Amino acid sequence: MTSSDSSHSTTAHRHWDEIWKTTGGRADWSTVDPWVADTIDLLRKRKVRDVLDLACGIGRHAVFLARSGFVCWAIDASDTAIDQSRAAAEEAGVDLDLRIGPMNRLPYPDDHFDYVLAYNAIYHGDRNAVRSHVREIHRVLRPGGLYQLTMLSRRNHHHGRGIEVGPGAFVQPEATDDKVHPHFYCDAAEMIAIHEPAALVRAHDEEHVAPGSFHWHCLFELPKGGGGLK
Ligand SMILES: C[S@@+](CC[C@H](N)C(=O)[O-])C[C@H]1O[C@@H](n2cnc3c(N)ncnc32)[C@H](O)[C@@H]1O
């Protein structure tokens, strides 16, 4: 089914704000993903210093990055996520610059970070919203900067379910999770196209905990001469 309403964008943080209020909701998001941990050696080799955890949730990766010696900023649109991240940073004894805000209007100057992480983040919204999230990543990254993120794969079992609110974007009105908000799904060609002119360094399509929950895991690099997505 296709809807003519093109106003759908990023509203999923409302769902996540409720999840982050519960102990059970936080439990699944408290440990560092090994794929993120495995990137640390590359970041050190590249002499990365300033890093951003975009849509950081309760701060599992931001705290890990700060503990690993990087200067870490983190942002999320959920107030509760940022409260929880602050508590996690205090407990770990690390400094984080924490902000509440949306992915499509980041409160950072141009060319500010060497690396951006966006784990299960930028696909919240329709294709236009996703492009606006990528545009902001490109803006705040330095030329030659790296970014690592997940995107929803078209192999994901939720692709095609519910109402298509834009090309590749679906809302499931009956869902009991964040799928009541728009989510964007892409194949490899589209995933690469959305991030141009960044170069794809590597990607794989990985099933997360739930059977059929395929996500692209990708690492991109901005051109050294600058000129990210405008
Ligand atoms: C699936 S959780 C992932 C959290 C974190 N990246 C992690 O891996 O633990 C998605 C997060 O994206 C945030 N989010 C969703 N839409 C957002 C938006 N438009 N701007 C900023 N944050 C958003 C939610 O509040 C939530 O914390």
Which of 52, 108, 56 minimizes the C-alpha distance to 81?
A: 56
* CATH number for the domain harbouring residue 193: 3.40.50.150
Spatial separation of the C-alpha atoms in residues 7 and 4, rounded to whole Å: 9
Contact 39, 95 (CB under 8 A): no
Query: Is 4 inside any structural domain?
Result: no
Exposure letters 34-72 (e unless 16+ CB within 10 A, then b): eebeebbeebeeeebebbbbbbbbbbbbbbbbbeeebeb
Query: Is 25 inside any structural domain?
Result: yes
Surface-to-core class of residue 32, CB atoms within 10 Å of its CB (0-12 exposed, 13-18 middle, 19+ buried): middle
Any atom of ligand 1 within 6 Å of the Cβ of 116: no
Rounded (5°) CA angle 51-29-78: 70
pLDDT bin (cut points 50, 70, 90) of residue 126 is very high
Query: Is 226 inside any structural domain?
Result: no
Print the domain residue range for 138.
19-221
Query: Is 2 inside any structural domain?
Result: no
pLDDT bin (cut points 50, 70, 90) of residue 8 is very low
> At residue 173, what are phi and psi to the nearest 5 degrees?
-60, -25
Any atom of ligand 1 within 6 Å of the Cβ of 103: yes
Spatial separation of the C-alpha atoms in residues 42 and 19, rounded to whole Å: 33
The pTM assigned to this predicted structure is 0.94
Any atom of ligand 1 within 6 Å of the Cβ of 77: yes
Which of 206, 203, 213, 211 minimizes the C-alpha distance to 156?
A: 213
Residue 57: which H helix or E strand, with range? none
**Minimum-distance ligand 1 atom for the alpha carbon of 117:** 6
Q: Tell how far the Cα of 55 is from the centroid of ligand 1, in angstroms.
A: 4
Does residue 1 carry a pLDDT above 80?
A: no
Query: Is 39 inside any structural domain?
Result: yes
Any atom of ligand 1 within 6 Å of the Cβ of 59: no
Q: What is the pLDDT of residues 51-104, one digit of tens each?
A: 999 999 999 999 999 999 999 999 999 999 999 999 999 999 999 999 999 999
**Percent of the chain topping pLDDT 90:** 88
Query: Is 10 inside any structural domain?
Result: no
Instruction: Mention every residue, 6+ apart, whose C-beta is less than 8 A from residue 12.
Output: 124, 125, 178, 181, 182, 183
Query: Is 8 inside any structural domain?
Result: no
Signed CA dihedral, 223, 224, 225, 226: sign only: positive
Domain count, the chain: 1
Query: Is 182 inside any structural domain?
Result: yes
Q: Tell how far the Cα of 123 is from the centroid of ligand 1, in angstroms.
A: 10
Does residue 3 carry a pLDDT above 90?
A: no
To test ligand 1's pocket by mutation, which of 56, 184, 209 has the most ligand atoms within 8 angstroms of CB?
A: 56
Any atom of ligand 1 within 6 Å of the Cβ of 64: no
Q: Residue whose CA is closest, atom 24 of ligand 1?
A: 13
